[in-house]
Each structure stands twice: as C-alpha cells, then as structure tokens.
Amino acid sequence: MQLEKTIEIDGKKITIKELRAKDIYQAKLWAEEIEILMKIIVGDYETMMRFLPKCVEVPEGVKLEELMQNVNSYARLFQAFREVNKDFLSRLPAQIEELIRGAEVKIKA
C-alpha cells in the first residue's frame, strides 16, 4: 500500500504520496553520482522537482511550482515527502557509502 499524507497550503489540500519503485529506478538514482543523492537528503529544490511532480497531487488549476515559491510551503511539502518516503530516504546514506567505496576501489585498481 502506498503511503500518503495530506497537508493544506494556502487553503488548498495537497496530497503527497510515497514514490513508487518505478519512479526511483526510472530516475536512475541508484546509478547516479553521490551529489544527486545528497541533494535529495537536504531537499535541493531543482533535484526535488524531479520527484515531487510524481508523488504530489494538487487541486485542478493549481501548479506545484506556484505552491513552492514560498519557503514555508516548500518546507512543509518537503517534510511531508520525507515522512511518506522515510524508507527510501533512510537507505540513501548507505547508498552514498557504497558509491564512495566503489569509487575508492576503482581509484586503487
């Protein structure tokens, strides 16, 4: 079952859903460089815009980008994203560590 959370921003109900495995693998995250994975952890705006449209439902006629103009609104969206995607996000530090070790092995070889 896909986790989800509904929050209200500017009087509009916004639903944030858990990313599907398909979304993660289509973004080729597991093959990406360390920098991208770290940007997800900290909520880098441009990086998150690769994922939020896949898991955020906004009312008809409302654009996600408009809701995210306000820092507080973006922080609330990102917090809800972190809550419903906690399993995925909790694995990122280990993934980063593996990428670092892999890079070290390639350098030594």
pLDDT at 100: 72
**Would you state the structure tokens that stand for residue 93, as one six-digit string?**
């530090």
- Between the two ends of the chain, the Cα-to-Cα distance in Å is 44
Identify which has the larger pLDDT, 102 or 78.
78
Domain limits at 101?
4-108
The 8-class DSSP code of residue 18 comes to P
Q: Rounded mean pLDDT of 55-78? A: 90
Looking at the structure of the chain, the number of domains it has is: 1
Judged against a pLDDT cut of 60, whether residue 106 lies above it is answered with no
Give the pLDDT band of residue 107 (cuts 50, 70, 90).
low
Chain-wide mean pLDDT for the chain?
A: 81
Q: Determine which helix (DSSP H) or strand (DSSP E) holds 73, and give its type and residue range.
A: helix 71-84
